[in-house]
Amino acid sequence: MSAKDQPTAKKRISIQEIRDRIRNGDREAWRSLEAVASDEDVKAFLDQEFPRYTAPWMGEFDRRQFLRLAGASLALAGLVGCRIRPIKQIVPYVHAPENEVPGKPKFYATALTLDGYATGVLVESHEGRPTKIEGNPDHPASGGTTTAMLQAMILELYDPDRSQAITRDGKFVTPDEFDSDFRARLRNQVATQGAGLRLLTPPITSPTTRRLIGQLQKRYPKMRWHQWSAVNRDNLFEGAERSFGKRLEPIYRFDRADVVLALDSDFLFSGPGTLAYARSFADKRRVEHEGDTINRLYVVESTMSVTGGMADHRIALKPSEIALFASDLLAALEGRATSGKWQQWVEAVAADLRSSPSLVVAGDQVSPDVHVLVNAINDRLGNHGQTVEWIEPVVDSASRLSDLESLKKDLEAGSVELLVIAGGNPAFDAPGELNFAEAIRRAGLAVRLGYWEDETSAACRYHIPMIHELESWGDALAFDGTAAVQQPLIAPLYDGHSLLSFVAMMLGETKSDRELVEETWKAAGYGSGQFEDAWKHALAKGVLANTGREPVSVSMVGAVPSVSAEAAALEVSVRPDPTIWDGRFSNNAWLQELPKPYLQNVWENVMMVSPRTAEEKGIQIDLNAVVVGADAPIAELKVGSRTVRGPVWIVPGHPDGVVTVTLGYGRRRAGRVGTEIGFDANQVRPAGPNWHAPASLELTGEMTKVALTQHHFSMEGRGIVRDHDVDEWHPSEEHGHGGHEEMSLYPEREYNGYKWAMVIDTNLCTGCNACVAACVAENNIATVGKDQVLRSREMQWIRIDRYFDDLDNPRWSNVPVPCMQCENAPCEVVCPVAATTHDHEGLNMMVYNRCVGTRYCSNNCPYKVRRFNFYKYSLIPGTSDEDTPITKLLRNPNVTVRGRGVMEKCTYCVQRISAARRQAKKEGRKIRADEFKTACQAACPTGAIVFGDLNNPDTTVFKKRSLPHHYTLLEELNTRPRTSYLARFRNPNPALKEARS
């Protein structure tokens, strides 16, 4: 961009001007508020591929300076294309392990946990190195798919900041020194029957660990075991107890429901059963032919969510209003008078829920009152035992917050002589007003078992390295009670303990972890007398068959609460962060750089507000934010006597009068990646059942840079969203070529072997980013850090564009954009060294050692899917690629690690294609239909991505490309992309459709 094109003064536009432009039809769908403004500077930015890669010349440019630069350019001309390539050494096996075939990976079934609940996975291992996580198709919580967090747990294993030795007050000590001190303290508890002994853990579903802790409690009858998780299901369990007289856990049957209402529930993205729920919901969302019916989703929520983006109808309310809406809905179902606040909505939803098999779901963060009301609504609709089943709790259902408060009282009373904190990080993620870190310091001796020396370790005397779940034996239960076996993929990288082995050590148990796990299931009678055979099968599959919980019958016994209509003028809503959760993944660079769904910011959290709330606070849209970096005003958020400071960001569709903040940031001891990033929302999280509270928000007058990716790699304003109401869709409507054969005046190259292609169903894409994380893990993609993201240099090969259609009450669509693998590829014709070219199967390939870094290909790509290595990113501190011996173990050996000065892009996982081709050739056959999956396809929870051979009519991709709503992006450019799309469909209620318009 030339100097004259640079903005010379701050340009701002009011929210109302944006709203007027949208309503006047200036833009049908848009990615950001700044794009709607249609400012010339913004348009110029969006039209350029490299607007920030070089600083603009802002001063005078005279003849002397021109000659100096011209001479320098001649001197440097010989360095064009020079770059740093990673130096690799080939070290062969001197004595190869038995049955080990170099280069051929093995897969092992195991399970990983979050907040206690297990998800079964298959872990790819190369020569004993775990390198990639896939879903386990035999596990009910996975079904063969994964979340972004599961994908990133492999990076957690190789984190160079993991603790590696025992420390006392921050100084290294030997294991013998710790063992002597700890055992002496433990012996002192015998006389008092453990009255001074406390154990604090995250929620545990492992039958073996729970068995050993039970033995510990028998040995020390007065000891207490506390469990804490910042993200918990306290309100759900309390709601069940008040409704049914006992604490139970729900299993939702979306496969049986035609109408779904979600009350502040992001069931498509988070929660113990989210992968299974996303899959079953999507199965009733598929459209293939005219007349197909799909389910209908209503969402009532107090913040933005992935599930809200999939809604056919959505209403944004304050958190305190969710209970009133539920109360009104129950009243409408029972024929009673409602508050009249959302009369049309309530009546329409009530009638729809009555008319079809239905399901009402409440989120874990809503109040216990809302859960009681939702249980009553499902009872009135006859849903219990049909679309919602209840089982005995998989985790201990005692209140997590009450448990932590009880421990805090004991600590402050001085009655805790020996405190063991195994896992979690309560010194950081407990509500700020508890000041739990200070309470820990009052223990006689505090011992910490953890992955990192974090905030909790700093409050304890001893820190013990914790063995990762991928390094240890264990077992754990899924959301439905199904048991999974955890088996190690690699010997522990550092000396330490798993929670299981540490409890066993406290008991003086000499058996190995594996023997303890086997002992548990042998005693439980698993295998019906054929334990050895059943156990081998369980290890192979990763699942212990027929161990799920059976549903129990329920009946409403509790009274329905009365609900107040009062709401504060401004409320704060606290939520887990969609990428780093409660702070557990703060030091995970893959997740820090993963754009957050619906907002697309990275490397920090922000205070989300609605356009109207921004108007009330006098915030305007900064048009320069697109061109020179996203400037956001800093505000002070006050809840009671506690305050936090952070950037404010305007989010279309966010509820008015609400400030949403996410947990996990503001860490002080996270590691080289996650320390001192963002603000700590725990400081304003209420210490009670509610995740919301009255608040005040005041601008400080300061500004800060926020790294967002929503403006990056724009396709020059070209519209790519195709969506229709399903009841109005007719195949004759224009969606693209609709399956007919494309004709050309020029001779075409024939692909007689394989012809690879991909179809992405935007009707099923939730925008969860699992595909992006899987692609990063599979293809050794670099993370670059916030500074480079601010310069539009993020490296992910897939981006997920999201498009809004309104400012205050938008619907939005998600469009994943990988490389289009064009048959008429514009990138190929401009490359001076043929570094990008077609192979014999039609793939648009990158030849890395030919690339001289001209970037012509990226400039000529209309889809903006190419990424350039401006640096050797392993030299940048604080990224996942930082050169350390341990991180090198993470690399996929079948994918080249790119160096500085090289262009890269999606390759359709060519390494997986090659592996399938070699296997087929070895067996003397062709690759079968749908025999393998790309990394993004395998991860997708809803099955929105399909891939295969277009020359094989039996493949799913061939069938999908023949559907009438199939289309390609920018078809008018005649690039003939192999990556194509299916249109988005909505199923609106006619009674509400007119009201929205």
Q: Quick: pLDDT tens for 468-480.
A: 999 999 999 999 9
Read off the pLDDT of residues 327-354 as tens digits, 9 standing for 90 and up: 999 999 999 988 888 999 999 999 999 9
Token digits of residue 145: 């798919």
pLDDT band at 19 (very low <50, low <70, confident <90, very high): low
Read off the pLDDT of residues 260-301 as tens digits, 9 standing for 90 and up: 999 999 999 999 999 999 999 999 999 988 778 899 999 999
pLDDT band at 99 (very low <50, low <70, confident <90, very high): low
* Residue 722: predicted pLDDT: 82
Q: Pick the closest to residue 814 from 741, 770, 762 (CA basis).
A: 762
* Residue 220: predicted pLDDT: 96
* Residue 527: predicted pLDDT: 82
pLDDT at 876 over 80: no
pLDDT at 372 over 50: yes
Mean pLDDT in residue range 174-195: 94
Task: Quote the strand ranges of 619-709, DSSP E.
Answer: 621-622, 630-639, 642-650, 658-662, 692-694, 696-706
Cα–Cα dist 783/775, whole Å: 12
DSSP state of 63: H
Angle at CA 397, nearest 5°, toward 395 and 400? 100
Task: Give the CATH class of 234-391.
Answer: alpha beta
116: alpha, beta or left? (left if phi > 0; alpha if psi -120 to 50): left
Mean pLDDT in residue range 217-244: 94
Cα–Cα dist 882/863, whole Å: 30
* Residue 88: predicted pLDDT: 44
pLDDT band at 75 (very low <50, low <70, confident <90, very high): very low
Weakest-pLDDT range from 80-89, 611-620, 674-683: 80-89
Domains 1-56+596-708 and 234-391 share a fold: no
pLDDT at 747 over 50: yes
Mean pLDDT in residue range 418-429: 95
Backbone angles phi, psi at 583, to 5 degrees: 110, -5
Fold entry, domain 1-56+596-708: Barwin-like endoglucanases (2.40.40)
* Residue 627: predicted pLDDT: 44
* Residue 678: predicted pLDDT: 94
Handedness of CA 875, 877, 882, 886 (dihedral sign): positive
pLDDT band at 53 (very low <50, low <70, confident <90, very high): very low
Q: How many CB atoms lie within 10 A of CB 702?
A: 11
Cα–Cα dist 146/771, whole Å: 9
> pLDDT > 70: what percent of the chain?
86
Q: 3-state DSSP: the chain helix, strand, coil percent, rounded to 5?
A: 30, 20, 50
* Residue 725: predicted pLDDT: 86
pLDDT at 598 over 90: no
pLDDT band at 44 (very low <50, low <70, confident <90, very high): low
Cα–Cα dist 430/459, whole Å: 14
pLDDT band at 392 (very low <50, low <70, confident <90, very high): very high
The per-residue DSSP string of 374-436 comes to: HHHHHHHTT-BTTTEEEE--SS--S-HHHHHHHHHHHHHTT--SEEEEESS-HHHHS-GGG-H
> pLDDT > 90: what percent of the chain?
68
Our measurement of the distance from residue 136's CA atom to the centroid of its chain's CA atoms, rounded to an integer in Å, reads 18
**Residue where the block lists tokens 């130096």:** 87
**Residue where the block lists tokens 């409890």:** 503
pLDDT band at 688 (very low <50, low <70, confident <90, very high): confident
In the chain, domain spans: 1-56+596-708, 234-391, 723-729+756-986
Q: Pick the closest to residue 425 from 396, 398, 404 (CA basis).
A: 404
Q: How many CB atoms lie within 10 A of CB 885?
A: 8
* Residue 6: predicted pLDDT: 43
Which is more confidently placed, 993 or 672?
A: 672
Asked if residues 216 and 503 have their Cβ atoms less than 8 Å apart, the reply is yes
Which is more confidently placed, 125 or 752?
A: 125
* Residue 724: predicted pLDDT: 83
Q: Does domain 723-729+756-986 have CATH number 3.30.70.20?
A: yes
Strongest mean pLDDT among 35-44, 68-77, 498-507, 808-817? 498-507
Buried residues in 375-389 as b, exposed as e (16+ CB within 10 A): bbbbbbbebbeebbb
Our measurement of the distance from residue 918's CA atom to the centroid of its chain's CA atoms, rounded to an integer in Å, reads 34
pLDDT band at 140 (very low <50, low <70, confident <90, very high): very high
pLDDT at 84 over 60: no
pLDDT at 417 over 60: yes
Q: How many CA atoms lie within 13 A of 48 on its CB side?
A: 17
Cα–Cα dist 426/500, whole Å: 20
* Residue 558: predicted pLDDT: 80
Token digits of residue 38: 């249609």
Weakest-pLDDT range from 669-683, 732-746, 915-929: 732-746
Nearest 10 degrees: Cα torsion 132, 766, 804, 711: 0
* Residue 899: predicted pLDDT: 86
Size of the chain in residues: 997
Mean pLDDT in residue range 202-206: 95
Q: Pick the closest to residue 904 from 815, 755, 793 (CA basis).
A: 793
pLDDT band at 618 (very low <50, low <70, confident <90, very high): confident
Read off the pLDDT of residues 726-741 as tens digits, 9 standing for 90 and up: 888 777 655 544 445 6
Backbone angles phi, psi at 78, to 5 degrees: -70, -15
* Residue 711: predicted pLDDT: 62
- Bridge partners of 982, per DSSP, are 761, 966
Q: How many CB atoms lie within 10 A of CB 987?
A: 18
Q: Pick the closest to residue 493 from 176, 174, 164 (CA basis).
A: 164
Which is more confidently placed, 727 or 357?
A: 357
Task: Quote the strand ranges of 530-639, DSSP E.
Answer: 571-575, 607-609, 621-622, 630-639
pLDDT band at 58 (very low <50, low <70, confident <90, very high): very low
Cα–Cα dist 640/621, whole Å: 30
pLDDT at 28 over 70: no
First-to-last alpha carbon distance for the chain, in angstroms, is 40
- Bridge partners of 705, per DSSP, are 631
The mean pLDDT of the chain is 87
Asked if residues 421 and 446 have their Cβ atoms less than 8 Å apart, the reply is yes
pLDDT band at 50 (very low <50, low <70, confident <90, very high): very low
Q: 3-state class of 544 per DSSP?
A: coil
pLDDT at 1 over 50: no
Mean pLDDT in residue range 685-710: 90
Please state whether beta strands 167-168 and 129-135 pair in parallel, antiparallel, or not at all (unpaired).
unpaired
